[in-house]
Amino acid sequence: MNSYGAAPHRILLDPETRIAAIDAQLASDLGYDPSELLDLPFSHPVSPDHITDLGNDLVQLVAGERDIVTARRSLATADSGRIDAVLSAEARSSNGRLVGFSVAVLIDDDDLALPATLPDHLRRLGAAAALIDADGSLLDTNLAWGQLFATAHAVTPGADMYALVHEDDREALTSRLAELARGAVSSLRSEQPCHAETGTFWCRLSIASFDSRANYFTVTADDISTEHLTNRVLLANEALFRSLAESSPVGLARLAPDLSITYSSPSWREITGESRDDPHVDMASLLHLSGRDEAIIELRQRIRTSSPEPVVARLAHARHNPAWASLRIGSVEDDELGLIGHVVTIEDVTGLVTINESKTQPAGIVESTSDLVGIADLRTGDIVYLNAAATELFAPNGLDGLSAVDM
């Protein structure tokens, strides 16, 4: 079996987390032919007691909360055995859309000592990564770690990782790492000010046990200064915005810069059919497939030009079908951060669209014209039809007894 320090096995998953590809050696270690695992859910070769944790890992990746999730997870073999391993999962995207996941698997072998070095897949990771021991001493770091902290201390073997964290947060982080070492938690995340050569910045540390004996831990670090400031600005206005939106008869939603919906009012959900339980719904998913791309292009055009003109689009999940909505979008900007999102209003215009569509038909044109139009029975001379304009003038009380001679 492979051990830490060796090249990891690879598993590729599709967006629904089904196995799209798996190393032949790993499949063999699990007791399968690779073809037997293709198209099966990734949960199939995972021990039952780790399936929930793995699902949470993938959810965090999809939500963009983490760039990579590294944690100890047990795999299930074909003969109901288990293999301890370290799994590092990353989301794969193309043109901003999720296309699947890449999972690196390092087999845990208790008979071999763990080299005090990062495995290759963490060393080449674009995000900052480090290997520490149970005391928080740095054993190895990748290039991105050095670039993020930009201090000699951050890349010196044996240096104290806690020295990179603001002094007010060190004790709490030490206690949480001790819980991780005892197995009380499987991984931890912490957000606090950190020190770099350029000054203090807000940092998110994600720490996971790296070996079965909990002697070593992997740490990934992200600069979340902009995210932290954005959240602070949004929270400052959150109570006021929600109090207005919750009572407004007009549907209101707040969108992130990528047009994912971060909040929607009751009126918005009533019109669109969006569930209150849907977190970060993509705006496009609320629109009917017919005309969806055109509507999104028009919304983005309104953003670029700061135009108040509405975009009329058909809805996909409204309670009545077909349903049409008028959307107006405006940008929310901060003096320091720039663009931090958008606010969208929505109105149900199904009735207006239906009327306008009927007027494009021959009967609708005749009925809506201001010209006087009537139809008479040539045999009797009786009027059998008058359009709206003619009815108002000649037959406000109905057509009974009305003849062409009377007109």
Q: In this predicted model, what pLDDT tens digit does every residue of 72-91 receive, in sequence order? A: 788 999 998 888 887 888 88
Residue 361 inside a domain? The answer is no
Same-domain pairing of 253 and 214: no
- Name every residue whose Cβ is closer than 8 Å to that of residue 106 and which is 6 or more positions away in sequence: 2, 3, 4, 6, 8, 9, 85, 86, 88, 119
Last residue of a domain, one of 111, 136, 157: 111
Residue 364 inside a domain? The answer is no
Residue 343 inside a domain? The answer is yes
Same-domain pairing of 107 and 118: no
Same-domain pairing of 186 and 270: no
Same-domain pairing of 92 and 128: no
Same-domain pairing of 270 and 336: yes
Residue 358 inside a domain? The answer is no
Instruction: Provide the pLDDT for residue 18.
Output: 92
Instruction: Provide the pLDDT for residue 78.
Output: 92
Q: Concatenated DSSP letters for 31-89?
A: T--HHHHTTSBTTTTB-GGGHHHHHHHHHHHHTTS-S-EEEEEEEEPTTS-EEEEEEEE
Instruction: Provide the pLDDT for residue 36.
Output: 93
Instruction: Provide the pLDDT for residue 144.
Output: 87
Q: Helix, strand or coil for residue 313?
A: strand
Same-domain pairing of 215 and 284: no
Same-domain pairing of 73 and 157: no
Which residues of the chain fall short of a pLDDT of 70? 1-7, 108-116, 120, 211-212, 229-240, 276-280, 334-337, 353-379, 384-385, 398-407
Same-domain pairing of 232 and 313: yes
Number of structural domains the chain divides into? 4
Residue 212 inside a domain? The answer is yes
d(CA 115, CA 147): 24
Note down the domain range covering 268: 227-353
Same-domain pairing of 125 and 10: no
Same-domain pairing of 182 and 203: yes
Same-domain pairing of 312 and 387: no
Is there a contact between 327 and 344 (Cβ–Cβ < 8 Å)? Answer: yes
Is there a contact between 326 and 312 (Cβ–Cβ < 8 Å)? Answer: yes
Last residue of a domain, one of 223, 239, 262: 223
The number of beta carbons lying within 10 Å of the beta carbon of residue 302 is 20
Instruction: Provide the pLDDT for residue 254.
Output: 84
CATH code of residue 183:
3.30.450.20
Residue 275 inside a domain? The answer is yes
Residue 362 inside a domain? The answer is no
Same-domain pairing of 25 and 83: yes
Residue 192 inside a domain? The answer is yes
Last residue of a domain, one of 58, 78, 111: 111
